[in-house]
C-alpha cells in the first residue's frame, strides 16, 4: 500500500470497522514520544497549546509497544503532536520497536532537526520510512506557513537523507507531504520540480480542522476547491494514539488531551481500547451525535463549544478557539483573508436598525455578535424581555451572523482584547447617551492592533427602548 492509499483509508467508508468492539488495530499506531515542536505551522493548534510540554517515560514507551505488539499491531509511528527529532533517544526507540518485531516503523518530521548525525542514527536503527512535512515549495511561503525560516536547512537534510540511503544500502522509504492551504494550493506542481528525485512519493492533503482544534481553518485557510461538508473519520475504530503522558486518545492531534479515553498508567492498552469511554465515543460516531466534542468541528466543520471526554486529563485553555493568532500572521504577511467584524448588541427586540448594522458588518467580513448578557443590559437599559439564551437563538438564525459570543459588561474592552477583531461596527447612536463614555475607549483599544471602527448612520424612527416604553405605557 502506498502513502496516498494509507491517507485515503483514514476517511474512507469502511463499514466492516464500525462497531463498539472493532478488531485491535494492525496499523495506525502513533506513539507521542514528545509533544514539543520547533515549528509553529499556521494551521496547527500547537501554536496555541497550553498543555505542559514533556516526553514519554522510557518504561511507558516500552510497555505500550510490547502490549500493542502482543495484541496484533505490527506498524508504529513515533510522533503525534510533537517533532520526533527533538527526542534525543529517538533512534533507541526505533531499534526497540524493530527488536520487538514491528515490521514497519516510521517517522513524520518537519526535517529541520534531522541533521546528518540524527539521520544516520535512525537509519542505522532500522527505520522503514521517513516522511518530511514540507508545506510550501519555496522559502518565503515556507517561512509564512511554518513560522520558521528553515527551508534551506530542510532541503539540505532531505538531500543527505537520500545520500545516506545510497551509502548505507538500507531499504527504507523517503516521503514528502504537503498540507495545502488557499495560499499554497497553486504551488502543487512546483513540488515536483523543486524536489525532483528526492522522494519516493509526494502526497498532498487539503488542510482541515484536524482534531477539531482549529475551526478557523474553514474560513481562513481552507482550499478554494474544497467543498467538503462532512469528513468521515475512522480513528476511533482503527487507530491507536498514546500521548507522552501515557494516555490513550481518540486522535493523534489531541493537543490539550480533550479526547482521552483511558490512562495507561492505570489500565492496560487492551482495557483502554475496549473500555466504556472508548465505546461511548464510538457510539457517538456511529449515531453521528458528536455535539459537545471537538470531533464535531472536524467531522462536520462546526464552530461550537466543546468539552473534554475526561476533564481530569485535559488542559484548560480559554484561548483555544480564538482565531487572532492566525489572522495576525496572515495580515503581517500582507495576504488577503476573511476579516473578523465585531458587532455589540443587546438585541432584545430585533428591528430594521439591527438588520442595517448586520448588513454593513457582513459586507466587511465574518460577523461576530457580542451579545450583551442580561446583567450588562440592566446597567444601562430596562429589563430585557428575552433572556440571553433566547436572544442568542434569534441572532444565530439571522442571515449574516456567523457566531454569537457573550459580552458581560457595557464596556467593550474585554471582548475587543480577547477577540482582536479587524473591525467593530456600531451605529452612531452611541456618540451620545449611556454608551458615549466607552466609545473613545473602544477606538483607542482597536487602534492598538490596527483595527477600525465603522459607524453606520443610526436608523431613525426605530428604538427597542422606545418600543418597550410605549408597551409599558399602554399597559
- Cβ proximity of 180 and 205 under 8 Å: yes
pLDDT of residue 438: 85
Q: Which helix (H) or strand (E) is 287 found in, with range? A: helix 276-287
Q: Which residues of the chain are under the pLDDT cut of 70?
A: 1, 5, 8-11, 459-475
Q: Rounded to an integer, what distance in angstroms lies between the CA atom of residue 248 and that of residue 239?
A: 10
Domain 339-474 - what CATH class? alpha beta
Q: Torsion angle of alpha carbons 300, 302, 304, 305, nearest 10°?
A: 50
pLDDT of residue 380: 81
pLDDT of residue 466: 55
pLDDT of residue 471: 47
CATH 3.40.50.620-classified regions of the chain: 339-474
Q: Specify the pTM.
A: 0.91
Q: Rounded to an integer, what distance in angstroms lies between the CA atom of residue 209 and that of residue 25?
A: 24
- How many other CB atoms are found less than 10 A from the CB of residue 367? 27
Q: Rounded to an integer, what distance in angstroms lies between the CA atom of residue 340 and that of residue 474?
A: 41
- Cβ proximity of 387 and 411 under 8 Å: no
> Domain 3-313 maps to which CATH number in 3.30.830.10, 3.40.50.620, 3.90.700.10, 3.20.20.70?
3.20.20.70
- Cβ proximity of 152 and 159 under 8 Å: no
Q: Torsion angle of alpha carbons 460, 461, 464, 465, nearest 10°?
A: 90
pLDDT of residue 81: 97
Q: Of 368, 219, 223, 369, give the one whose Cα is nearest residue 297.
A: 219
Sheet holding 423-425, edge to edge: 403-407, 366-372, 340-345, 423-425, 452-454
Q: Rounded to an integer, what distance in angstroms lies between the CA atom of residue 119 and that of residue 103?
A: 20
The DSSP string of 103-122 is: SEEEEEE-STT--HHHHHHH
pLDDT of residue 8: 66
The DSSP string of 326-348 is: HHHHHHHTT-----EEEEEE--S
CATH 3.20.20.70-classified regions of the chain: 3-313
- Looking up cell 485491535 gives 24
Amino acid at each position: 500500500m502506498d502513502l496516498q492509499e494509507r491517507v485515503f483509508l483514514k476517511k474512507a467508508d469502511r463499514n466492516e470497522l464500525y462497531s463498539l468492539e472493532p478488531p485491535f488495530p494492525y496499523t495506525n499506531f502513533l506513539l507521542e514520544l514528545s509533544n514539543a515542536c520547533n515549528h509553529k505551522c499556521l494551521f496547527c493548534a500547537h501554536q496555541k497549546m497550553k498543555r505542559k510540554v514533556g516526553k514519554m517515560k522510557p518504561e511507558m514507551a516500552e510497555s505500550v509497544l510490547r502490549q500493542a505488539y502482543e495484541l496484533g499491531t505490527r506498524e508504529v509511528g513515533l510522533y503525534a503532536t510533537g517533532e520526533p527529532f527533538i527526542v534525543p533517544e529517538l533512534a533507541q526507540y526505533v531499534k526497540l520497536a524493530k527488536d520487538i518485531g514491528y515490521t514497519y516503523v516510521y517517522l513524520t518530521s518537519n526535517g529541520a532537526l534531522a541533521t546528518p548525525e540524527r539521520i544516520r542514527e535512525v537509519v542505522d536503527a532500522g527505520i522503514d520510512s521517513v516522511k518530511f512535512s514540507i508545506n510550501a515549495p519555496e522559502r518565503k511561503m515556507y517561512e509564512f506557513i511554518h513560522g520558521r525560516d528553515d527551508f534551506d536547512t530542510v532541503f539540505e537534510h532531505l538531500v543527505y537523507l537520500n545520500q545516506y540511503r545510497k551509502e548505507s544500502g538500507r531499504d527504507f522509504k523517503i516521503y514528502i507531504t504537503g498540507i495545502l492551504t488557499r495560499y499554497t494550493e497553486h504551488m502543487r506542481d512546483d513540488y515536483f520540480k523543486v524536489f525532483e528525485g528526492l522522494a519516493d512519493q509526494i502526497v498532498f492533503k487539503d488542510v482541515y480542522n484536524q482534531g477539531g482544534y482549529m475551526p478557523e481553518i474553514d474560513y481562513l485557510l481552507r482550499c478554494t476547491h474544497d467543498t467538503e461538508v462532512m469528513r468521515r473519520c475512522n480513528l476511533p475504530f482503527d487507530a491507536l494514539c498514546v500521548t507522552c503522558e501515557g494516555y490513550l486518545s481518540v486522535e493523534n492531534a489531541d493537543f490539550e488531551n480533550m479526547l482521552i479515553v483511558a490512562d495507561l498508567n492505570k489500565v492496560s492498552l487492551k482495557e483502554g481500547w475496549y473500555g466504556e469511554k472508548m465505546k461511548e465515543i464510538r457510539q457517538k460516531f456511529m449515531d453521528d451525535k458528536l455535539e459537545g466534542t471537538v470531533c464535531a468541528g472536524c467531522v462536520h466543520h462546526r464552530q461550537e463549544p466543546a468539552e473534554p471526554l475526561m476533564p481530569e486529563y485535559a488542559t484548560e485553555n480559554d484561548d483555544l478557539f480564538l482565531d487572532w493568532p492566525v489572522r495576525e500572521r496572515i495580515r503581517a504577511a500582507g495576504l488577503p483573508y476573511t476579516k473578523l467584524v465585531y458587532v455589540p448588541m443587546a438585541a432584545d427586540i430585533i428591528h430594521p436598525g439591527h438588520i442595517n448594522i448586520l448588513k454593513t458588518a457582513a459586507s466587511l467580513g465574518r460577523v461576530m455578535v457580542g451579545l450583551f448578557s442580561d446583567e450588562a443590559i440592566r446597567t444601562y437599559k430596562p429589563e430585557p424581555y428575552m433572556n440571553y439564551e433566547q436572544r442568542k437563538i434569534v441572532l444565530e438564525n439571522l442571515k449574516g451572523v456567523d457566531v454569537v459570543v457573550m459580552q458581560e459588561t457595557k464596556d467593550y474592552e474585554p471582548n475587543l482584547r480577547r477577540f482582536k477583531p479587524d473591525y467593530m461596527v456600531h451605529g452612531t447612536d452611541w456618540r451620545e447617551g449611556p454608551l458615549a463614555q466607552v466609545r473613545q475607549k473602544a477606538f483607542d483599544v482597536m487602534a492598538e492592533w490596527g483595527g477600525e471602527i465603522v459607524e453606520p448612520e443610526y436608523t431613525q424612527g426605530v428604538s427597542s427602548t422606545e418600543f418597550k416604553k410605549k408597551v409599558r405605557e399602554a399597559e
